[in-house]
Amino acid sequence: MKLDSLIERLAEDLAPVRPRRFWVDASIIALIAALELPLLFAVGNAQPGMRRMLTEPTMGWRLGSLGLIALVSGFLAIRSFYPTYSAQRPLRWLTLIIAICVAYGMVMAGSPASVASVIHRLNWPSGVDCAFKIVLLSIPPLIGLAVLGRSGAPTDLRRTPLLIGVAAAAWGAFVFVFDCPFDDPLYILVWYGLGCGIVMLLARLLLPRFVRW
């Protein structure tokens, strides 16, 4: 088709369009993410004795770190759905936040006395189950963000999928905190890290094709 006739047709078919709003996108994702929490409690997966658990020292670290990472990365992911936004610099700040959260956890975990104690503390059958559940809980926000990304116009097909992955993984892990019976920082760093890493890797590998336009 010639350019002139293309322009002619586009102008003829023109309909008023409502500008995309950041806060509408953010509210949709917040709703999808927030629905996971009551669902978790409704299906009876949440740990009993939640009030006591909330006073555990690692609980504040887990909820604070994961909540902050999910919030910041979700914000950046949605901003990156607009063509003029560059996530390059903000992504460095996000990396710094993640590094601080992990470092804090490592300080809490302390240095293990022996290899045997590490193996004991990691409790790998439960750990694999934890990582798997984190991946499952990350799926709804991942799909929500990916669909919004597809309807937007992200121009950075490396960083946008990564940000979607980080946001979804952090939220999945945040929700999973209420289902997790373990509070050993070493266990959390390793298995939560594995679950989040899988989600981020999947997002980085699969989403560029999906959000491309």
Shortest distance, position 28 Cβ to another protein, whole Å: 15
Burial 25-55 (b: 16+ CB within 10 A, else e): bbeebbebbeebeeebeeeeebeeeeeebee
Among 20, 92, 120, 158, binds another protein (CB under 8 A): 20
Can residue 11 be called a binding residue for another protein (CB under 8 A)?
Answer: yes
Check binding of 61 to another protein (CB under 8 A): no
67-75, 126-134, 152-160, 195-203 -> range binding another protein (CB under 8 A): 152-160
Question: Binding to another protein (CB under 8 A): which residues in 80-99?
Answer: 81-84
Q: Which of 97, 127, 135 is nearest to 189 (CA)?
A: 127
17 in contact with another protein (CB under 8 A): yes
**Minimum CB–partner distance for residue 212 and another protein (Å):** 7
- Least distance to another protein, CB of residue 134, Å: 32
H helix runs in 80-192, sequence order: 88-109, 115-122, 124-151, 159-176, 185-187
Establish if 153 lies at the interface with another protein (CB under 8 A): yes
If one asks whether residue 51 binds another protein (CB under 8 A), the answer comes out as no
Give me the half-sphere count of Cα atoms (radius 13 Å) on the Cβ side of residue 60.
Answer: 5
Window 88-147: residues binding another protein (CB under 8 A): none
CB of 15 to another protein, least distance (A): 6
If one asks whether residue 152 binds another protein (CB under 8 A), the answer comes out as yes
- Does residue 3 belong to the site contacting another protein (CB under 8 A)? yes
29 neighbors 149 (Cβ within 8 angstroms): no
Contact between residue 184 and residue 120 where contact means Cβ atoms under 8 Å apart: no
* Residue closer to another protein, measured from CB, 92 or 158: 158
Give CA torsion, residues 2, 18, 84, 161, to 10 deg: -100
User: Cβ of residue 121: shortest distance to another protein, in angstroms?
Assistant: 42
Alpha carbon distance 144, 141 (integer Å): 5
- Per rule CB under 8 A, count of chain residues that contact another protein: 24
- How far apart CA 31 and CA 39 sit, in angstroms, is 12
Residues at the interface with another protein (CB under 8 A): 1, 3, 6-8, 10-12, 14-20, 81-84, 152-153, 155, 212-213
